[in-house]
């Protein structure tokens, strides 16, 4: 059916939906009951129909980037609209057009934001890629994504030396003291020059003697809401990274739910601690803040320094922060006595946040960290929203417009029966009969995975959770992380949450260790907090703590002090640790040097 919504109507519809959620702040139940994602018609491009519509002539801060030395640069909405027009014109001149995939392999720098906007405005397809990938990964990504162009820093161009293909190559910044463009690469800075220097004379990073290039606003590319807009690779915690496709509607419109979860308002200054190339960066550093007409705030650092971060938060009057559990754990071990400054919203994302961390921040700042849940495959779908009661250990309730249900992973039917405690446990799913706007179209080039993910009328997240009588959802674990020991089901997250309450534990990952008697026992891999060294005393202390705090069937029987393996996005690879345990058992290897077992401490059983 053809929609009667025109371009002006699409902008108005998006704004009305955004404003409705702003007005419903603090009233979660009503927002879920009344909100519907907007009908943006048959012709929709978020870059033109929303961003440009609010940005032209708007001098409000759009993007602020603070460097490690705490120097900073801000860009207004109008400036970002014009800069992205210039980049779009340059890309078009190089042959990039509607439907073409463009790899953006950049750090937290203005070129990332202006290029992302430019690609969207052209109706082309953004392929965000972390700078941490190597040549082997790039070959896979370029091939599977069908890349037509690449934009990266000149210091990274060598990674493409052995990446075959006829694609446009664009370099940002100088690769050597002279700033000479690497052979075969175009200069990103040419987008802002008012002359047409021959390619052989162009130098990356060199300013033109002529005035800045002015170009007309980028014309609407005629994209439809269901046209491809984003290709994201997942971080691959358990398998080969999947290639996720999002449309002009699924992320740009769907992230209104993310804006509501975070609690963003026009004029806010929002800091998201996330690496470019991963979906969370697009969530909270691009779509959500700019949907709210807030400032996307970035703090660049090579090594995390809690004191420096706290100083930057105060200096720049940041109003909201979204950070992964690793950052929050480091912050609670630092001095929080100066208070939260201008912070109004504090958010945890990436992995479930342990209750102990939430309690310590609340005690120091009087602010409650609000957890949430989503995936690369969708926007935020579950969250503790502003004004809602936060239950310890829960990631909140389904967000407005998100048809979240729990499904029995064996029978693939809705879980309707509650246990004696009033909880329903099953796999977190989205009900496809409700046509969830924020959901991907599918995994590209993997029909079997698509069939599995969308089986039985549900999108299957692969995450197991428990839902209480009030609709609050608590994470149990990945379907492939939950295991049985002595015939009891063990949730690694629950055990890890207890372990990190111990002052010596910075991070923990719990996996099953094969055992001749119990078949498997819980084993914790431990990363120690600063100031603690591996040894018998600290092992005894951690095991005693676990014994005191956990139910008998959950007790950790072994711990090993170990450097936790992680994906390049920072998520713990428990699959690798499970594999290590199986290999140790299969080979009959001796007990590892830094592993301690509860039977080495008979006094703990007293």
Q: pLDDT for 354-382, tens place per residue? A: 788 899 999 999 999 999 999 999 999 99
Radius of gyration, CA atoms only, the chain:
25
pLDDT at 212: 61
Query: Could you tell me if 468 and 537 lie in one domain?
Result: no
Average pLDDT, the chain: 90
Query: Could you tell me if 493 and 548 lie in one domain?
Result: yes
Tell whether the model's pLDDT for residue 197 goes beyond 50.
no
pLDDT at 478: 76
Q: What span, in angstroms and rounded, lies between the C-alpha atoms of 171 and 129?
A: 15
Instruction: Give the three-class secondary structure for 556.
Output: coil
Residue 585 lies in a domain: yes
Tell whether the model's pLDDT for residue 489 goes beyond 60.
yes
Q: Supply 159's token pair.
A: 């990674």
Query: Could you tell me if 278 and 344 lie in one domain?
Result: yes
Q: Nearest Cα to 82, choosing from 31, 118, 108, 36? A: 118
Residue 154 lies in a domain: yes
Q: Where are the alpha helices (DSSP H) in 366-510?
A: 447-453, 492-499
Query: Could you tell me if 503 and 529 lie in one domain?
Result: yes
Query: Could you tell me if 557 and 601 lie in one domain?
Result: yes
Residues forming beta bridges with residue 247, ordered by sequence position: 228
pLDDT at 201: 37
Query: Could you tell me if 444 and 360 lie in one domain?
Result: no
pLDDT at 177: 44
Residue 208 burial (10 A CB sphere; 0-12, 13-18, 19+): middle
Query: Could you tell me if 28 and 117 lie in one domain?
Result: no
Query: Could you tell me if 408 and 550 lie in one domain?
Result: no
320: CATH: 3.40.50.12780
Query: Could you tell me if 464 and 543 lie in one domain?
Result: no
Query: Could you tell me if 407 and 344 lie in one domain?
Result: no
Last residue of a domain, one of 439, 455, 479: 479
pLDDT class for 208, splitting at 50, 70, 90?
A: very low
Q: List the Cα angle 467/368/317 in 5-degree steps.
A: 140
589: CATH: 3.30.300.30
Tell whether the model's pLDDT for residue 238 goes beyond 80.
no
Q: What span, in angstroms and rounded, lies between the C-alpha atoms of 199 and 184?
A: 10
Residue 68 lies in a domain: no
Strands 228-233, 269-272: pairing is unpaired
Residue 47 lies in a domain: no
Average pLDDT over residues 524-530: 95
Last residue of a domain, one of 201, 225, 246: 246
Residue 48 lies in a domain: no
Residue 271 lies in a domain: yes
Query: Could you tell me if 111 and 228 lie in one domain?
Result: yes
pLDDT at 200: 34
Q: What pTM was estimated for this model as a whole? A: 0.82
Number of domains forming the structure of the chain: 4
Backbone angles phi, psi at 148, to 5 degrees: -100, -20
pLDDT class for 458, splitting at 50, 70, 90?
A: very high
Last residue of a domain, one of 219, 246, 273: 246
Residue 369: CA atoms inside 13 Å, Cβ hemisphere, count?
31
- Among 20-24, 29-33, 484-488, name the one with the lowest average pLDDT: 484-488
Residues forming beta bridges with residue 168, ordered by sequence position: 149
Domain with 531, as residue range(s), is: 481-605
């Amino acid at each position: 059916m053809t929609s009667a919504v025109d371009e002006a109507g699409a902008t108005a519809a998006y704004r009305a939906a955004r404003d409705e959620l702003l007005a419903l702040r603090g009233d979660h139940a009503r927002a879920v009951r009344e909100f519907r994602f907007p009908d943006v018609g048959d012709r929709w491009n978020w870059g033109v129909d929303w961003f440009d519509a609010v940005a032209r002539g708007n001098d409000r801060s759009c993007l602020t980037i603070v460097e490690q030395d705490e120097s900073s640069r801000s860009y207004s909405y109008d400036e970002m609209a014009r800069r992205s027009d210039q980049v779009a014109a340059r890309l078009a001149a190089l042959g990039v057009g509607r439907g073409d995939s463009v790899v953006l392999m950049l750090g937290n720098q203005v070129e990332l934001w202006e290029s992302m906007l430019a690609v969207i405005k052209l109706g082309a397809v953004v392929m965000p890629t972390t700078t941490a990938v190597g040549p082997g990964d790039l070959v896979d990504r370029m091939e599977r994504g069908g890349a037509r162009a690449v934009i990266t820093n000149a210091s990274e161009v060598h990674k493409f030396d052995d990446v075959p293909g006829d694609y446009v190559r664009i370099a940002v910044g100088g690769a050597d003291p002279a700033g000479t463009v690497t052979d075969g690469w175009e200069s990103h800075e040419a987008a802002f020059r008012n002359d047409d220097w021959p390619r052989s004379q162009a130098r990356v990073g060199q300013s033109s003697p002529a005035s800045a290039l002015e170009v007309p606003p980028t014309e609407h590319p005629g994209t439809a809401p269901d046209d491809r807009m984003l290709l994201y690779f997942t971080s691959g915690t358990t398998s080969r990274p999947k290639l996720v496709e999002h449309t002009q509607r699924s992320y740009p419109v769907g992230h209104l739910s993310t804006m509501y979860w975070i609690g963003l308002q026009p004029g806010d200054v929002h800091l998201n601690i996330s690496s470019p190339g991963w979906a969370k960066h697009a969530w909270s550093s691009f779509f959500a803040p700019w949907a709210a007409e807030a400032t996307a705030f970035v703090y660049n650092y090579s090594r995390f320094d809690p004191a420096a971060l706290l100083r930057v938060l105060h200096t720049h009057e940041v109003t909201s922060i979204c950070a992964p559990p690793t950052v929050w754990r480091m912050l609670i071990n630092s001095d929080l006595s100066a208070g939260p400054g201008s912070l109004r919203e504090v958010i945890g994302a990436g992995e479930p946040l342990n209750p102990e961390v939430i309690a310590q921040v609340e005690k120091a700042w009087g602010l409650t960290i609000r957890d949430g849940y989503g995936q690369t495959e969708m926007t935020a779908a579950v969250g503790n929203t502003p004004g809602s009661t936060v239950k310890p250990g829960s990631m909140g309730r389904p967000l407005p417009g998100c048809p979240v249900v729990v499904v029995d992973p064996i029978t693939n039917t809705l879980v309707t029966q509650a246990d004696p405690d009033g909880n329903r446990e099953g796999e977190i799913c989205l009900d496809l009969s409700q046509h969830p706007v924020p959901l991907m179209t599918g995994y590209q080039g993997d029909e079997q995975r698509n069939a599995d993910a969308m089986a039985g009328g549900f999108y299957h997240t692969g995450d197991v959770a428990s839902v209480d009588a009030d609709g609050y959802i608590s994470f149990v674990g990945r379907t492939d992380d939950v295991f049985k020991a002595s015939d009891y089901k063990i949730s690694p997250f629950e055990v890890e949450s207890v372990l990190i309450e111990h002052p010596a534990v910075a991070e923990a990952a719990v996996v099953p260790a094969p055992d001749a008697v119990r078949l498997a026992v819980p084993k914790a891999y431990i990363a120690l907090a600063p100031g603690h060294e591996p040894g018998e005393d600290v092992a005894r202390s951690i095991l005693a703590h676990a014994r005191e705090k956990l139910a008998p069937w959950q007790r950790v029987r072994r711990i090993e002090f170990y450097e936790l393996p992680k994906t390049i996005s920072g998520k713990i690879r428990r699959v690798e640790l499970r594999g290590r345990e199986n290999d140790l058992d299969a080979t009959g290897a001796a007990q590892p040097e830094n592993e301690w077992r509860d039977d080495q401490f008979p006094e703990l059983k007293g």
